Amino acid sequence: WQNSSHIDCNNMASSIGSIVGICNPLLDISANCDEKLLQRYKLEPNNAILADEKVHLPLYEELKSMPDVEFLAGGAGQNSIRVAQWMLQSPHATSYLGAVGNDVYAQIMTEKATRDGVNVQYYKNPNGVPTGTCAVCVTDQGKNRSLVANLAAANTFSDEIISEVQWKCVTDAKVVYITGFFHTVSPKTIMKVAKECEKTNKTLCMNLSAPFLLQVPPFFESFKAVMPYVDVYFGNETEAKTLSEAMSWGLTDIKEIAKKLARTPGKANARPRTVVFTHGAEPTVIAIGDADRLWNVDEYGIIPCADEDIVDTNGAGDAFVGGFLAGMLKGEPIDVCVAMGNYGANVIIKRPGCSYPHKPSFKYRGLTLKY
């Protein structure tokens, strides 16, 4: 994207549908939980997994019965697109694709995302499959969250059901963002979109999303198949280390892993690959390179947040990606993209779920800390 011209997001005609996200739209069922609940359902405090029907289905009902339960329009990709839309403040600058059921949960999500300004283009499953849900078990006073996704209708998206309107969202976009979670749903759709990005010189961004996606063979094969087309990778330190294990790189330092991924040969276009690895409260690592050379590698500090100000870290990584994508669309340099990502994440962790005030108050003063 570094080679693209600056996009004026105040000019609505130039920004409508400029970012499209593809992922699994889920209604988040979020509540504060204790360690005993995690143990009962065999969950880790800061992880994301797919629901096992034999083990996890009672969890959703248990969370619904809790006094502080909240229902939020979620799914990692939808969170990122909503935050990007919020940062851009231009109606329908973003679009979002995914599959839902024909039910009240889908109605709630459509209303929330549309109110946020996102051009939502859900495929509504006609066969009675319900909208997917995600159990969000918040522990340690908001610092950790365990996610258990029951995909349901989200799992029914495929390359065969894409409508003309949905495909137009892809062809009109300048930046395409697909989460790793979509590897579990439709690898064929991912490849179809990836080849369109290569053909029309769009920037394709992808998130590693969760360790299990790099450990389960069919999902990892889909990851490797699309790798030549990916211009920008996002991930966190745990996913980075899991990737190194899966690729047999023998690396444990996330900066070295970022450099290795940036320089992985076989890229389908001449654009250098950018790798962005967040690391909780530690600096974010960004490497840019291609098979022939490492163009750049830097670390950027986060915006500090006092423990007592943290309400819920669920969605912090998604919000960082959303802010970063908004910066990319505007043609901003790396340090501004990071600052926009940091701002989005800092706002979200002080509020329940992936929520934010009516308008952002982001102002960049050149203070992103570089190490």
pLDDT tens-place string over residues 67-88: 999 888 889 999 999 999 999 9
State residue 46's pLDDT score. Answer: 82
Q: What is the pLDDT of residues 7-60, one digit of tens each?
A: 344 443 346 779 999 999 999 899 999 999 999 999 998 888 999 989 999 999
Task: Reply yes or no on whether the pLDDT at 341 is more than 90.
Answer: yes
Percentage above 90 pLDDT, the chain: 77
- Mean residue pLDDT across the chain: 91
pLDDT confidence of residue 151? 95
Lowest mean pLDDT among 193-207, 241-255, 340-354: 340-354
Does residue 270 have a pLDDT over 80?
yes
pLDDT at residue 4 tops 50: no
Average pLDDT score over residue span 132-151? 90
Q: What tens digit of pLDDT does each residue of 307-319 get?
A: 888 876 778 999 9
User: Phi-psi region for residue 80, left (φ > 0), alpha (ψ -120 to 50) or beta?
Assistant: alpha
Name the active-site residue from 116, 231, 318, 335: 318
Q: Is residue 318 annotated as part of the catalytic site, yes or no?
A: yes
Q: What pLDDT shows up at residue 331?
A: 94
Q: Binning pLDDT at 50, 70 and 90, where does residue 371 land?
A: very low
pTM for this predicted structure: 0.89
Look up residue 11 and give its two tokens. Answer: 């000019």
